[in-house]
Chain A
Amino acid sequence: MRPRIQLLSPEVIGRILREAFELLMSPGVRVGSAPVVELLRSAGVEVLAGVADNDGVARIPERLVQQCLASAPRDFYLYNRQGEKAVHYGGDDVHFDPGSCCVQMLDPETLEARPSEIRDLVRIVQVTETLPQFAAQSTAVVCNDACSDACSDRRAASAIGDLYRLFVVLQHSNKPVVTGSFSAAGLPGMIDLLAADSGSPDKLRQQPRAVFDVCPSPPLNWSEFGSRNLLDLARAGVPAQIVSMPLAGGTAPVTLAGSVTQHAAEVLAGITLHQLAGPGAPVVWGGAPAIFDMRTGGAPMGAVETAMLNMACAEVGKHLGLPTHGYLVATDSKLVDAQAGAESARSAMLGALAGINMISGAGMLESLASFSVEKLVIDAESIASAYRLARGIEVRGGEVRGEKVPRETLATAMFARTGLSGEFLQLKETRALFRQEQHLPSPVIDRSARLGASERRLRASSYPSRRTGQQVSEANSFRRRAAKVSGNRRSRS
């Protein structure tokens, strides 16, 4: 039996959807681009004139939304560079990817946040590539040094920045990519780049390697670039992940159920735009909902209510039979500390138990404002534990690693061999099954006995090969220590 957590009763899900459909009619949805207004009008949607020339308020009838829900695929795959299926969006399959688009990096040397740079993105991608817990890469940080000199125009800088981030990830990775564009103009270039990576636009459509986050602005607003991204993605057949982010109490109703309702309305509107432009194009019921912190005015990503919102939003998406996404495994702490560990591990577990198809956010600190590679490595351990929990307790047996293990009994067959000797460690069953029963953590997790200072030094020098590529921070601090030691040696001699 696979353990699951559900927060919403079928009755409440019904009420959420009924009210979401009501919201799409009144007050309606703000749409901010001329092509989108045109598309909606041609589908018979009433669009009231807005404040500017090219925007308006659309009243989207349930009938049209239902028609678009019917054409949206129930599942799809992302492919890796080798063209193999690597991520299954659908059912209760759970995947994780690092958080995306941080603008700052936690410097492991100074423990201060500084603007993120190209070298940081490369490092994040390289570390993510080695961590099996991450099924996909993400365009994790903005490269503030990518085009600061060349581009004086901010919008052009943004478009090139989006493209460049994706380029760096494709350059250093074989995994699928969760990405996105901060501008309408930037997206076509990114799709061209992916088509070049795949071989052709058709190949990209058949075996997409990337999914694009597309965000409405709360409440109920599909801005110019967000809605145009949806249209471009639908027409290219490249998966779109609708990341609605209501802030309960700030930009959305304070009640969790009310915010889930707003989230549903925003995503339903997005799916409608998307499917009108490209019926059958892959689209994800995604989100980054959070509560609004009443002390700081921030969005506490580590709050348990934030996790609950993500779980509940995904439940609504699952009820509609759509692939799902959420934003978890992040923290509000500024450092890779106890708070970071507690908040990130907790939400990783909850997300896995909710069966969310893609969970973004690992590595992120400071309510998504900064990124830490060291945290990414530790989060990978939390994710591994979450996966273990989500597998539940199984009755084992059959042919395992070349050993026949009886499935008929849970314990009595093993006791028949050990008697009262207690010698379970020697049993063939133990060796055959312990890897399935237990998650074997990386050395990031310390379960060893307490060491004296001299033993710690000895240990650090005994196993240099374990560190490379695996624990970046440990390697760094090791190098620092080694430099200090060799300095001492020099000064002594």
Chain B
Amino acid sequence: MSDPLFGAMRQSIIDGAPDTATELAQQALANGIDPLEAVNQGFAAGIKFAGDQFGCGEMFLPDLLASAEAMKAAIKILEPEMLKRGSEREALGKIVLGTARGDIHDIGKNLVATILSASGFQIFDLGTSVTPERFVAKAKEVDADIVGVSALLTTTMAGQKAVIEALDRNGLRPRVKAIIGGAAVTAKWAAEIGADGYSRNAIDALELAKNLMGKVMNVVTSKGTAQA
């Protein structure tokens, strides 16, 4: 099914126009369109386009943030109806995010949170300078699939290692995946501290998270098989 509204919805996200997105969401509800359809065929298509454009350098960080804001505005209108219909948009996964202990730089982490949340992940943002213990506690509390630790400075990158060690100590891995990011972070560092992945920007983080969710499912499935 294709509705002319879907095209406009997609465009409102690409334009980063929260007011337009809100109006279109309201119109969709008034027309009796399934809110889940509106998200999947309309708004989410816009976020995907914006992400692709950012990935190849045609859109920029402020554009991407504006698109994410527009997405949030649309979801806010559609969510109550989705709950009512019992067709709540299934979260792609639960992700606990924060910056490493001692690091207060959170532009990158916020960007990742915004993009992942606009793309359908459920985000638990612990903010800045988060201790390994708080990461572990939150991951247990919400039954997280992924824990993401951001660090800008080479001096605070050690905090990423500490979080991964704490997750290991508490027996959360390999079910919970650990990902890292930040200006100084490299693939080599990620491998060295045993992270499950790292990405260089928010769009790549989205891909990474989606790929890892595939692996989470595999672990769950294979566990299930083993138990059976």
Question: Interface of A with B (CB < 8 Å)?
Answer: 422-423, 425-426, 430-431, 434, 440, 443, 448-452, 454-455, 462-463, 465-466
Contact = CB atoms under 8 A, between A and B. Distances in A.
A452 B62 contact: no
Contacts of A443: 57
A434 B62 contact: yes
Interface string B52-74: 00011100111101100100000
Given A426-B65, A466-B56, A466-B57, A431 B16 contact: yes
B64 to A, nearest CB: 9
Interface residues of B, number: 19
Question: Sorted from nearest, which 10 A-B pairs have the closest CB atoms?
Answer: A431-B62, A452-B187, A430-B62, A463-B56, A466-B56, A449-B200, A431-B66, A426-B65, A434-B62, A425-B65
Interface of B: 16, 55-57, 60-63, 65-66, 69, 107, 110-111, 183, 186-188, 200
A450 B107 CA distance: 20
Given A452-B186, A452-B187, A455-B187, A425 B107 contact: yes
Contacts of B57: 443, 466
B148 to A, nearest CB: 17
Nearest to B66: A431
A452 B188 contact: yes
Nearest to A426: B65
A451 B204 CA distance: 13
Nearest to A463: B56
A450 B61 CA distance: 20
Contact of A449 (B55, B63, B183): B183
Of listed A423, A430, A431, A440, residue having the most chain B CB within 10 A: A431
Given A425-B62, A431-B16, A434-B62, A448 B200 contact: yes
A422 B128 CA distance: 13
Nearest to B105: A422
A426 B57 CA distance: 19
A454 B107 CA distance: 27
Contacts of B56: 463, 465-466
Contacts of A465: 56
Contacts of A425: 61-62, 65, 107, 111
Nearest to A455: B187
Contacts of B110: 423
B173 to A, nearest CB: 23
A167 to B, nearest CB: 36
